[in-house]
Amino acid sequence: MPFWNPYIFCGMPFLANPQSAVFYPFSYLFVFMSFPAALNIFIVAHTFIAGYFAYKLAQSAGMNRSGSTAAAFVFMFNGFYLVHTEFMSNIACYAWLPAVLFYFHRLADRPGLKSALIVSLVAALQFFGGHPGYAYYTVLFAAAYYFWHKFEFGCFLKSLKTFLKVFFAAALPAALFTAAQSVPSFELIRNSVRDSGMDISNSATYSIAPLDFLRFMFCRYGTTSARSTPAMST
């Protein structure tokens, strides 16, 4: 098991770094194939996974075939995905987002051990992809998706109880499946500069200013001409 990488700096943890993606099955394409071939297969496979599960998710939400196909193409070939194809951990985790939501939708419809284990395994694959932030975003999306499609606000307490049962039925096995990566990663964080956190100035370095966000959403908001201030602040 590759615990240590002696080839970067004076050596650094390898397995504990989640971006190494040691437990991600697609990482082993690069062990058994040439880098160009493995990279091409990696990108094509994840593009297919993203599109297929986006299609299935759209269908499960009630969209017809045409709408589901359009949703799949948008998810597969949007600007965010295309500009991140050079970052393998990004596209690996991004591609599994609709799969997690699709199987979470199934779990909400048909609660059971099998459904919970499938969601957990797919969520674990996403986590192992190498960019844990996407797993956090997916949890938020799953909660929002459930509240939009399944939550009955007229029976608030009953619906909340059902949601918590479904959520923890998926989350607890996923936490166990991913422990081999998450435990050493948290240990690495605890012994790094990240453990002390970041102040607000550093945290907000690449954030978008509220006024610029309105300009992005509504084009001419707060401007007097088409040649107004660029959307992103410096």
DSSP SS3 for 108: helix
Q: HEC states along 66-106?
A: HHHHHHHHHHHHCHHHHHCCCCHHHHHHHHCHHHHHHHHHH
Name the nearest CA neighbour of 46 among 100, 85, 74.
85
Region 121-131: what's the mean pLDDT?
Answer: 94
**Continuous segment of H or E residues that includes residue 233:** none
| CA dihedral sign of residues 147, 141, 128, 99 | positive
Q: What is the DSSP string of 141-209?
A: HHHHHHHHHT--GGGHHHHHHHHHHHHHHHHHHHHHHTHHHHHHHHHHHHTSGGGG---HHHHTTTPPP
Region 176-190: what's the mean pLDDT?
Answer: 91
Mean pLDDT in the chain? 86
pTM for the full model? 0.81
pLDDT, one tens digit per residue, over 159-180 is: 888 888 888 889 999 999 999 9
Chain centroid to CA 92:
8
Cα-Cα-Cα-Cα torsion 10, 23, 133, 145, nearest 10 degrees, comes to: 180
pLDDT, one tens digit per residue, over 53-96 is: 999 999 988 899 999 999 999 999 998 899 898 899 999 999 99
- Write down the domain spans for the chain: 17-186
Name the nearest CA neighbour of 54 among 90, 89, 88, 81.
81
pLDDT, one tens digit per residue, over 43-64 is: 999 999 999 999 999 998 889 9
